[in-house]
Amino acid sequence: MVRLPYVPGFARPVAEGGGRGGAKAAGKALRARVPRFAHAEWKPADGRPGAVESVEAANAGRLPALTPIRVGRMAASPFAFLRGSAGLMGHDLAETDVTGVGAQLCGDAHAANFGLYGDARGELIIDLNDFDETVYGPWEWDVKRLAASLVLAGREAGADELTCRAAARDAVGAYRHTMRLLARMPAVEAWNAIADEQLVSHADAHQLVGTLERVVEKARRNTGARFAARATEKDGTGGRRFVDAPPVLRRIPDREAAAVAAALGEYRGTVPGELLPLLARYEVQDVAFRVVGTGSVGLRSYVVLLLDHRGEALVLQVKEARPSVLLPYARKAGFEAPEDGHEGRRVVLGQKSMQVVSDVLLGWTTVEGRPYQVRQFRNRKGSVDPAALAPGELDDYGRMTGALLARAHAHSADPRVIAGYCGKSEELDDAVAAFAVAYADRTEADHAELLAAVRAGRVAAETGV
């Protein structure tokens, strides 16, 4: 038998310690260094930033006129506070034990950052859908953020503590079971495993079916063309333009609009070549500024209206990309993630690394020296509000999102290693659920601190936006 040389970038031969069996054993061996029960442990470190201090630090560099909207949204509830405080949680997670196994992280894997979106043919996909903070780091961090968010969402929905803890515990259990399933499958099958039509059965999330059906129906109607029909008017020259709807949507000076439109030239160079003829069939009509979600409020974000030869609209979002708030903490944990060089590129490549199917028009560009990501706006997007779920649905939702997170991590981390560490027992599930409850308690205290500062006039907040 001919012994072929090792080819860099591929697995090492079994005879050299690579290939079959070794990865799972390596994961199991990690338990000696970081016991699974250790993931239950966390307490605020000395010198931990206060809630107001962390919010003000996160607001640095954002548009000052919009930061009161961001604070107002974070002050709405402890779950909303968690959604806007990925950096503070990164600080806290950096004090916890990690196995040293890395994965491409969402970086903000709370329970509201999973949802539906359309693929190239209009079919609906369910997956993680927010990657502003994506970075390479400890797989445990995404799992713990998801678990803590489920406890807070359940409390906001009025679920009892046993239900909230069970949702967190079962999310981790679904992550563990899914990783073990992927570890046993052929590599190609594992890469594309758990089709969306099988997800409910895989996660035993049958009580969630009715809610998912309603979200699907709404998502099918949530298109860029529908948004354009409501948000634009005829401009008198045969084209269309955006209509002011402050503070969420507003027209911008011509110079600013021209800079955004010109940046689409750089964007075209980041889109797969086979799609360039498609983009060439659209004419850029108008650009407006549009305020985005809780964690991103205050960043520069634009919507660009394009029309084809029939006057049908395509809307692109051009959204400012800043360095991941987790980057310094990932480095502290031993993950020497390099500076990407372009933050929009980091977001796009991280997203493509984690999703089974991504928006075909994802790309990046630079506007007046600042990096941006570009994507389709309202591409049949839909989401479940975890804070509005019935108690029985919360547990199902936890299992579904835990399974999706495992699928996403398995694209960049060897599922055999993580499965070997997680094992068959429920020890990890129990430990992370205990962490989640403790962290939810701390988040409620942080939220109360922010709310007190808002009521005392120390921090400006605008509510209802």
Phi, psi of 233 (to 5 degrees): -140, 165
The predicted structure's pLDDT at residue 197: 80
Cis preceding-peptide flag for 247 (omega within 30 of 0): yes
Q: Give 164-194 as a DSSP string.
A: HHHHHHHHHHHHHHHHHHHHHS-HHHHHT-S
- Give how many domains the chain has, as a whole number: 1
The predicted structure's pLDDT at residue 464: 76
For β-strands 313-320 and 301-307, DSSP reports them as: antiparallel
Residue 450, in any domain of the structure = yes
The predicted structure's pLDDT at residue 14: 61
> Residue 144: is its pLDDT beyond 60?
yes
Which residue blocks in 17-160 are alpha helix, DSSP H?
Answer: 22-29, 51-59, 67-74, 78-83, 86-93, 139-157
Nearest of 302, 358, 301 to residue 134 by alpha carbon:
358
Cα–Cα dist 227/248, whole Å: 13
pLDDT tens by residue, 338-389:
666 899 999 999 999 999 999 999 999 999 999 999 999 998 999 999 999 9
Tell me the helix, strand and coil percentages in the chain, rounded to 5. 50, 15, 35
The predicted structure's pLDDT at residue 12: 75
Cα–Cα dist 328/57, whole Å: 14
Tell me which amino acid residue 181 is: L
Q: Give 278-340 as a DSSP string.
A: HHTT-EEEEEEEE---GGGTTS-EEEEEEE-TT--EEEEEEEE----TTHHHHHHTT--PPP-
Contact present, 124 and 347 (Cβ < 8 Å): no
Phi, psi of 400 (to 5 degrees): -65, -45
191 contact partners, CB below 8 Å, separation of at least 6: 410, 411
* pTM of the shown model: 0.95
pLDDT tens by residue, 49-64:
999 999 999 999 999 9
132 contact partners, CB below 8 Å, separation of at least 6: 107, 108, 295, 296, 321, 322, 324, 347
Nearest of 92, 90, 101 to residue 34 by alpha carbon:
101
Rounded alpha-carbon distances, angstroms, from residue 359 to 34, 130, 137, 268, 388: 38, 12, 24, 14, 28
Q: What is the mean pLDDT of residues 429-433?
A: 98
Residue 269, in any domain of the structure = no
Contact present, 383 and 106 (Cβ < 8 Å): no
Residue 82, in any domain of the structure = yes
Contact present, 433 and 147 (Cβ < 8 Å): yes
Residue 134, in any domain of the structure = yes
The predicted structure's pLDDT at residue 370: 97
Residue 433, in any domain of the structure = yes
Nearest of 237, 216, 231 to residue 313 by alpha carbon:
231
The predicted structure's pLDDT at residue 8: 84
Residue 441, in any domain of the structure = yes
Relative orientation angle of helices 139-157 and 161-184, to the nearest 10 degrees:
150
Phi, psi of 288 (to 5 degrees): -140, 160
The token pair that represents 329 in the structure block: 């903490």
Give percent of the chain above pLDDT 90. Answer: 85
Residue 90, in any domain of the structure = yes
Which residue blocks in 49-138 are alpha helix, DSSP H?
Answer: 51-59, 67-74, 78-83, 86-93
Residue 327, in any domain of the structure = no
Which pLDDT band, with edges at 50, 70 and 90, does 15 fall under? low
pLDDT tens by residue, 267-293:
999 999 999 999 999 999 999 999 987
Element (DSSP H or E) covering residue 102: strand 102-105
Which pLDDT band, with edges at 50, 70 and 90, does 19 fall under? low
Q: Facing residues of 138 across strands?
A: 102
* Domain with 95 in it: 23-220+388-455
Nearest of 36, 37, 219, 213 to residue 116 by alpha carbon:
219
CB atoms within 10 A of CB 48: 15
